[in-house]
């Protein structure tokens, strides 16, 4: 999800750039694979939630099926954030109906103790809980529950929790690296007359006459915890299909009743977008669950198979082109960006939040790929370069590991610059396209480290990218090329770079172009082009004469 738009947020990032944050034991519990997590692997979630819209409270049950990789274990860490309360936990062992577990609360962690040593290869724990979930302060950036009303005064609710975590509203193993291998079921009970939309496919709904029963949804594929969501309101629905690379893909649209007419017009771009993304990034990763676009009471989020839409049915970003090129006004930013996450973020997922540039950088680059599909390569590239104007260089893009913390907000726009520059250095669009598609295939439905992604890109492009990635991911320094022209000779070198850094540049003046491969050492070429020179605009660098 994009996070750079509000002035107050930009100010916060500027103020925090020079602030050192001390991480706590609670941060480590949340962000690391510690002793209460490392011995069990989530296979399936079964979540049932009852919503009390009058009191803004919920109560529910989470059933977690898990496997055991063979490590020793004496307790299980379950995440559930205050003010939510875990009431009880029952462990299923073999043919036994289950045994009650001891619960010890430590902040947002609930330690379960009991007969775990009786487990063999698999286990199941059932968690009963209730509470009044945190209200979102500024969704989706500062997330939680959004209890709103639509333009007709009817209740309209949803949740956004990237970074904050799914444990803000249901008990789980709240970690990006452990997705349920066999998917999950989501059952939502809401007041009569309201519709509850969630991830995956609709499997059941309440009786129309009495309202009794649940809106039941099923996800067949692995899913990030923060992608699990709900949308409750006066929704109408229509369905379409397209024939994609893996056959028929179901497309579902759920919008507020009063938005149906304009949604039909705005959402027509979906088919063109999916065909474009499949060409560049490979087959849509969740054919089994389908693609869904849902009206949301906040700007948007990449909820897997149920993308949140809140762009006010405007082109660009709420009617604004953040690239300042004019190109961004040719499409709806939120539909394109959040849907792009289905490939990077939802399919290929960073195991640690510190590596979330994999989500945001490649997805932000997918915007320019769509612009290219729509308007041609030149405008797609211009759009991408326009996003670089938002780079702040406040801190490294890779954050601290093991504490549930992202790096700089530059993971979006500096991330897209990285992908753009790799394409330029590859100098072979088909090779670059196959590399993107290969990432989705190699890491299909997997969690990854940045080292795995870096190695894959380097291997498939044939480029030595070690210094390149170190420069742009792990420092805030923008390479500076120093140069001087004297006696028809040009001297040049890079400064402000890591060891071994270089780029394939070109310099042009008076219809004379010369290739350069600067390093940190001074180099010299003969030059007859004069003093009014221009370096290639395809790399994120600065120049100093």
In this prediction, residue 94 carries a pLDDT of 52
Are the C-beta atoms of 233 and 155 separated by less than 8 Å?
Answer: yes
The residue assigned the tokens 């290869």 is 121
For the chain, how far is it from start to end, CA to CA, in angstroms?
Answer: 39
Distances in Å between the alpha carbon of 430 and those of 285, 434, 436, 460, 538?
A: 21, 6, 10, 12, 18
Sign of dihedral through CA atoms 199, 233, 172, 144?
positive
Closest CA to 84 of 104, 59, 106: 59
14 has pLDDT over 50: no
149 phi/psi in degrees, rounded to 5:
-125, 150
Two structure tokens written together for 513: 């172009």
Tell whether the model's pLDDT for residue 16 goes beyond 50.
Answer: no
- Do the Cβ atoms of 21 and 27 come closer than 8 Å? no
pLDDT at 545 exceeding the cut of 90: no
Cα(41)–Cα(214) distance, integer angstroms:
28
pLDDT of residue 71: 79
Average pLDDT over residues 452-474: 98
CA torsion sign for 374, 378, 381, 385 is negative
71's CB contacts (< 8 A; 6+ apart) are 38, 39
CA 139 centroid distance within chain? 15
Mean per-residue pLDDT, 425-431: 98
Q: Report pLDDT digits (tens) over 206-259.
A: 998 888 999 999 999 999 999 999 999 999 999 999 999 999 999 999 999 999
Is residue 266's pLDDT more than 90? yes
- Residue 349 forms beta bridges with which residues? 447
What is the model's pLDDT at position 4?
A: 37
Tokens of 130: 């209730």
Q: How large is the average pLDDT for residues 58-76?
A: 92
Residue 15 has pLDDT above 70, yes or no: no
Cα–Cα distance measured from residue 120 to residue 534, given in angstroms and rounded to the nearest whole number: 67
Report how far residue 285's alpha carbon sits from residue 370's, in angstroms, rounded to the nearest whole number: 18
What pairs with residue 131 in β-bridges?
Answer: 58
Burial environment of residue 320 by CB neighbours within 10 A (0 to 12, 13 to 18, 19 or more): middle
Angle subtended by helix axes 429-442 and 269-281, to nearest 10: 90
Segment 157-181 shows an average pLDDT of 98
Helix locations, 282-356, DSSP H: 333-340
Which pLDDT does position 12 carry in this prediction?
A: 33
Please give the Cα distance from 324 to 195 (Å, whole number). 39
Structural domains of the chain, ranges and CATH numbers in brackets: 36-231 (2.60.40.1730), 340-474 (1.10.390.10), 480-544 (2.60.40.1910)
| pTM for the full predicted model | 0.94
- Angle, in degrees to the nearest 10, between helices 333-340 and 269-281: 40
Question: How distant, in Å, are the alpha carbons of 59, 196, 353, 375 from that of 339?
Answer: 31, 21, 20, 19
Closest CA to 477 of 389, 396, 387: 396
How many angstroms separate the CA atoms of 422 and 461, rounded?
8
- Exposure string of 490-513, with b = 16+ CB inside 10 Å and e = fewer, is bebbbebbbeebbbbbebebeeee
pLDDT at residue 372 greater than cutoff 60? yes
CA distance linking residue 276 with residue 363, whole number of Å: 13
pLDDT of residue 160: 98
Q: How do residues 487-541 score in pLDDT, each as one tens digit?
A: 899 999 999 999 999 999 999 998 899 999 999 999 999 998 888 899 999 999 9
Predicted confidence at residue 11, as pLDDT, reads 30
**What local confidence, expressed as pLDDT, does residue 19 receive?**
40
CA dist., res. 435 & res. 448, Å (int): 16
CB atoms within 10 A of CB 437: 19
Distance CA 436, CA 59 (A): 42
Phi, psi (degrees; rounded to nearest 5) at 158 = -165, 180
Question: 3-state SS of the chain: helix, strand, coil percent to 5?
Answer: 30, 30, 40
Q: What percent of the chain has pLDDT over 70?
A: 95
Give the C-alpha separation, 538 to 544, whole Å.
Answer: 17
DSSP H stretches of helix in 462-495: 466-474
Average pLDDT over residues 36-43: 96
Phi first, then psi, for residue 231 (nearest 5°) are: -135, 120
Mean per-residue pLDDT of the chain? 94
> Are the CB atoms for 227 and 292 separated by under 8 Å?
no
Q: What average pLDDT does range 423-431 have in this prediction?
A: 98
Which residues are 109's β-sheet partners? 79, 106
118-140: average pLDDT: 95
Closest CA to 281 of 444, 397, 466, 416: 444
3-state secondary structure of 163: coil
Residues 454 and 446: their CA atoms lie apart, in Å, by: 16
At residue 74, the pLDDT reads 86
Q: Does position 117 have pLDDT exceeding 90, yes or no?
A: no
Lowest pLDDT segment from 157-161, 360-364, 508-512:
508-512
Residue 450 CA to its chain's centroid (Å): 14
E strands in 114-246: 122-131, 144-149, 155-160, 184-189, 195-198, 201-204, 215-219, 230-233, 235-244
Q: What's residue 93's pLDDT?
A: 62
Please check the confidence at residue 10 and state whether its pLDDT lies above 50. no
CA distance 3 to 474: 20
329 has a pLDDT exceeding 60: yes
Averaged over 3-13, what is the pLDDT?
34
pLDDT of res. 529:
84
Q: What is the mean pLDDT of residues 106-116?
A: 95
More confident call, 146 vs 96:
146
CA distance 444 to 139: 29
Instruction: Quote the pLDDT of residue 67.
Output: 96
Q: pLDDT tens, 287-324? A: 999 999 999 999 999 999 999 999 999 999 999 999 99
Counting every residue, how long is the chain? 545
Q: Which tokens sit at 418?
A: 């990285």
Q: Give the model's pLDDT for residue 82.
A: 97
Average pLDDT for residues 83-101, to the nearest whole number? 84
């Amino acid at each position: 999800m994009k996070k750079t738009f509000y002035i107050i947020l930009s100010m916060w990032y500027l103020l925090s750039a020079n602030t050192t944050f001390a991480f706590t034991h609670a941060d480590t519990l949340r962000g690391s694979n510690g002793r209460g997590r490392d011995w069990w692997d989530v296979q399936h979630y079964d979540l049932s939630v009852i919503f009390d819209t009058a009191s803004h409270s919920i109560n529910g049950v989470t059933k977690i099926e898990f496997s055991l990789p063979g490590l020793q274990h004496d307790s299980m860490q379950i995440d559930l954030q205050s003010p939510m309360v875990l009431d009880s936990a029952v462990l299923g062992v073999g043919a036994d109906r289950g045994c009650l577990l001891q619960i010890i609360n430590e902040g947002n962690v609930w330690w379960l103790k009991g007969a775990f040593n009786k487990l063999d290869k698999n286990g199941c724990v059932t968690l009963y809980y209730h509470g009044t979930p945190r209200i979102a302060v500024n969704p989706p950036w500062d997330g939680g529950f959004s209890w709103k009303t639509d333009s007709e005064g009817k209740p309209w609710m949803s949740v956004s929790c990237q970074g904050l975590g799914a444990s803000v509203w249901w008990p789980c193993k709240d970690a990006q690296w452990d997705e349920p291998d066999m998917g999950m079921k989501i059952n939502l009970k809401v007041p009569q007359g309201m519709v509850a939309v969630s991830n995956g496919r609709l499997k059941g709904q309440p009786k129309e006459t009495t309202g009794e029963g649940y809106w039941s949804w099923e996800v067949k594929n692995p899913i990030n915890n923060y992608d699990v969501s709900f949308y409750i309101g006066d929704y109408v629905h229509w369905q379409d299909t397209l024939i994609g690379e893996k056959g028929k893909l179901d497309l579902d649209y759920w919008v507020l009743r009063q938005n149906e007419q304009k949604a039909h017009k705005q959402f027509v771009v979906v088919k063109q977008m999916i065909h474009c993304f499949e060409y560049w990034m490979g087959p849509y990763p969740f054919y089994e669950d389908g693609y869904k676009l849902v009206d949301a009471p906040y700007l948007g989020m990449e909820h897997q198979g149920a993308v949140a839409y809140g762009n006010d049915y405007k082109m660009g970003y709420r009617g604004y082109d953040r690239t300042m090129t004019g190109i961004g006004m040719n499409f709806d930013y939120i539909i394109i960006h959040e849907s792009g996450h289905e490939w990077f973020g939802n399919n290929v997922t960073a195991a640690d939040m510190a590596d979330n540039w994999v989500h945001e950088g490649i997805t932000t680059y997918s915007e320019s790929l769509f612009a290219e599909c729509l308007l041609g390569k030149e405008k797609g590239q211009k759009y991408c370069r326009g996003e670089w104007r938002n780079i702040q260089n406040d801190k490294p893009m890779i954050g601290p590991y093991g504490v549930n913390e992202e790096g700089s907000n530059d993971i979006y726009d500096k991330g897209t610059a990285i992908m753009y520059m790799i394409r330029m250095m590859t100098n072979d669009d088909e090779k670059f396209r196959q590399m993107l598609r290969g990432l989705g295939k190699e890491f299909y439905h997997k969690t990854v480290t940045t080292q795995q992604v870096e190695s894959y890109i380097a291997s498939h492009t044939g480029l030595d990218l070690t210094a390149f990635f170190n420069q742009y991911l792990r420092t805030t320094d923008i390479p500076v090329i120093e140069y001087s022209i004297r006696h028809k000779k040009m001297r040049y070198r890079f400064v402000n770079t890591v060891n071994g850094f270089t780029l394939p540049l070109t310099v042009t003046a008076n219809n004379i172009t010369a290739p350069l491969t600067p390093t940190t050492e001074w180099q010299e070429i003969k030059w007859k082009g004069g003093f009014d020179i221009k370096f290639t605009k395809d790399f994120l660098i600065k120049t100093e004469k």
